[in-house]
């Protein structure tokens, strides 16, 4: 869409003029403004403009929804108002703005960090679905060309995974008002291929995770620190980036004069990277090592396995948020190398499926909102088939909370039955296709007693339990007043979508359609059949319009 100077003048006038603009920037679809006097912002009049889809006020920030071409409008807006020559606003220098930023909740902050990365998370999920058949075939058939295809596909998958973690560092710096380029460089350093990701760790029989992890010998005989990559550690990378922004702010208080361009970048990047490598990463590895020992004991003890195993399964989804799920990967790899399967693998499969089902249920619950349908259904499909749940968690789970709680409840009961029935999971995909892992019984050396009926039967029952309880729990939680009101507010703020109003209009439309349809109930002439067809098509078209399709 093309925008003219008149469009810019209208928006400028309706936000209170150039002098009322404290800061202006844009995201993928919205022009975002922080204003000095909120009373000068005329939301109702702005909504009437042809090129505006809606107006939102969130955390003291005014957002005008323009669409995917917002960047063109932004450039013209800045050019005509001379805003491109204004210095970048320093959050530390504006007390009122700083207060607004401090009032942001953790969930709002996380939501803003991941907003520009959602499209990549969705792409990862879809790509994992596409590559899954090749992955399965390459593992079942000994064909060199299939293995080569799988390696190529894996290269693309790992590349996108790297980008998400690096992108998180960039986005965190951007949201907090830091220099985004610092975040990019820090992310690249901490995801460097010279470092070892936990998922790539090769643990030999009798080795501990600490012994298997490569390390530097820069302190002589003391092998420290370990060469730990931050690949897949999303929330830890957010923590690293937050630390980097604070270091940058401290540097801004130091009078460096003309040396700032030389000293500040090196100081911020090196300090943040070194502190992360020397402290944050080693603490995570120590946690992983002791966690491995605890798992081996608690999952095999006759009493603790009924308590610990379902709890771990239920907590796997929240662990993904903080990157702690990577701590389980070495344990699974060790089990697969030794037993060609793992008890923990089943927990992961149930968790992934329940997260996908809860996300799909959420999308169905608010199906009248086109944006929600698109996000929830596409992400749920990738989670269900490919077992890639990060898009579900970051786009729905964290933001709306109760779908994640519903998934946790479903996973808990599915894992409880899984443990009690003595089900074993051989190496298998992490999504719904993981049921093929129940086809092989547990090695006799483990002493696992499976209930009568066999491994596959109780594995399927456990999966059905997980799916049904996740769906029911999510629906019931959505009816709770707190979650319902919170979700309605978020949908209004994010998408300018009034759920109750649209639902009422859809209901009225359905009622009218049924009444009109009854006129032809007993008539079978060609003209009546044709009219019924036209009526149905018109009804579907009107429903789509209401739902934003």
d(CA 149, CA 349): 25
Q: How crowded is residue 262: how many other Cβ atoms within 10 Å of its Cβ?
A: 10
Structural contact between residues 111 and 399, judged by C-beta atoms closer than 8 angstroms: yes
Residue 219 is given by DSSP the state B
Quick one: tokens of 80?
Answer: 């005509």
Alpha carbon 24 to its chain centroid, in Å, reads 27
For helices 343-365 and 455-478, the axis angle rounded to 10 degrees is: 30
Q: Is the peptide bond before 225 cis (omega within 30 degrees of 0)?
A: yes
Encoded tokens for 146? 């299939």
φ/ψ bin of 16: left (φ > 0), alpha (ψ from -120 to 50), beta (otherwise) = left
Strands 54-58 and 61-65: antiparallel
Asked if 233 contacts 323 with a C-beta cutoff of 8 angstroms, the reply is yes
CA dihedral 294, 297, 298, 302 (to 10 degrees): -170
* Cα 228 from chain centre: 23
The 10 Å Cβ neighbour count of residue 120 is 17
Tokens of 266: 């090196």
Are the CB atoms for 225 and 213 separated by under 8 Å?
A: no
CA distances from 233 to 84, 100, 165, 172, 269 (A): 36, 29, 7, 14, 19
Is 27 noted as a catalytic residue in this protein?
yes
Q: Distance of CA 370 to CAs 251, 366, 375, 461, 532, Å?
A: 45, 9, 9, 34, 27
Beta bridge partners of 24: 33
Instruction: Check 27, 78, 392, 415 and give the catalytic one.
Output: 27
CA angle 150, 151, 155 (to 5 degrees): 115
Question: What contacts 158, CB < 8 A, 6 or more positions away?
Answer: 231
Q: Which of 317, 391, 325, 327 is nearest to 360 (CA)?
A: 391
Task: Give the catalytic positions in this structure.
Answer: 27
């Amino acid at each position: 869409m093309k925008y003219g100077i008149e469009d810019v003048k209208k928006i400028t006038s309706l936000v209170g003029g150039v002098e009322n603009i404290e800061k202006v920037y844009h995201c993928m679809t919205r022009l975002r403004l922080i204003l000095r006097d909120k009373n000068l912002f005329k939301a109702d009049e702005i909504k009437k403009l042809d090129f505006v889809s809606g107006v939102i006020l969130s955390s003291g920030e005014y957002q005008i929804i323009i669409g995917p071409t917002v960047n063109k409008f932004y450039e013209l807006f800045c050019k005509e108002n001379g805003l491109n020559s204004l210095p970048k606003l320093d959050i530390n220098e504006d007390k009122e703005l700083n207060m607004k930023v401090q009032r942001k909740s953790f969930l709002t902050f996380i939501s803003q960090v991941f907003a520009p990365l959602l499209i990549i998370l969705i792409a990862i999920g879809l790509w994992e679905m596409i590559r899954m058949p090749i992955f399965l075939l390459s593992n079942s058939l000994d064909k060199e060309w299939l293995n080569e295809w799988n390696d190529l596909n894996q290269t693309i998958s790992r590349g996108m995974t790297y980008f998400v973690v690096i992108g998180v560092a960039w986005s965190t710096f951007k949201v907090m008002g830091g220099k985004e380029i610092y975040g990019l460089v820090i992310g690249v350093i901490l995801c460097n291929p010279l470092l070892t990701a936990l998922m790539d760790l090769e643990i030999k029989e009798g080795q501990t995770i600490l012994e298997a992890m490569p390390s530097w010998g820069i302190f002589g005989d003391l092998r420290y620190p370990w060469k730990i990559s931050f690949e897949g550690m999303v929330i830890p990378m957010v923590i690293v980036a937050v630390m980097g922004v604070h270091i940058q702010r401290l540097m801004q208080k130091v009078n460096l004069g003309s040396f700032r361009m030389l000293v500040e970048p090196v100081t911020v990047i090196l300090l943040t990277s070194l502190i992360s490598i020397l402290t944050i990463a080693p603490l995570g590895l120590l946690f992983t090592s002791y966690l491995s020992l605890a798992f081996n004991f608690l999952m095999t003890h006759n009493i603790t396995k009924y308590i610990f195993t379902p709890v771990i399964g239920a907590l796997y989804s929240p662990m993904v948020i903080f990157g702690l799920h990577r701590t389980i990967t070495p344990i699974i790899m060790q089990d697969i190398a030794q037993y060609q399967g793992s008890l923990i693998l089943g927990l992961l499969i149930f968790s992934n499926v329940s997260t996908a089902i809860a996300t799909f249920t959420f999308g169905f619950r608010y199906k009248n909102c086109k944006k929600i349908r698109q996000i929830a259904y596409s992400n749920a499909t990738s989670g269900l088939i490919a077992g890639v749940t990060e898009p579900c968690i970051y786009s729905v789970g964290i933001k709306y909370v109760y779908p994640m709680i519903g998934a946790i409840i479903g996973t808990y009961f599915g894992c409880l039955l899984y443990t009690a029935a003595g089900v074993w999971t051989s190496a298998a995909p992490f999504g719904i296709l993981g049921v093929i892992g129940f086809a092989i019984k547990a090695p006799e050396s483990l002493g696992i007693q499976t209930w009568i009926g066999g491994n596959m039967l109780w594995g399927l029952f456990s999966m059905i339990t997980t799916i049904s309880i996740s769906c029911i729990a999510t629906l019931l939680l959505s009816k709770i007043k707190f979650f319902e009101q919170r979700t309605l507010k978020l949908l209004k703020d994010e998408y300018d979508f009034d759920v109750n109003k649209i639902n009422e209009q859809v209901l009225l439309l359905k009622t009218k359609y049924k009444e009109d349809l009854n006129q032809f109930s007993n008539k079978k002439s060609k003209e009546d059949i044709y009219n019924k067809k036209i009526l149905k098509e018109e009804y579907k078209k009107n429903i789509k319009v209401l739902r934003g399709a």
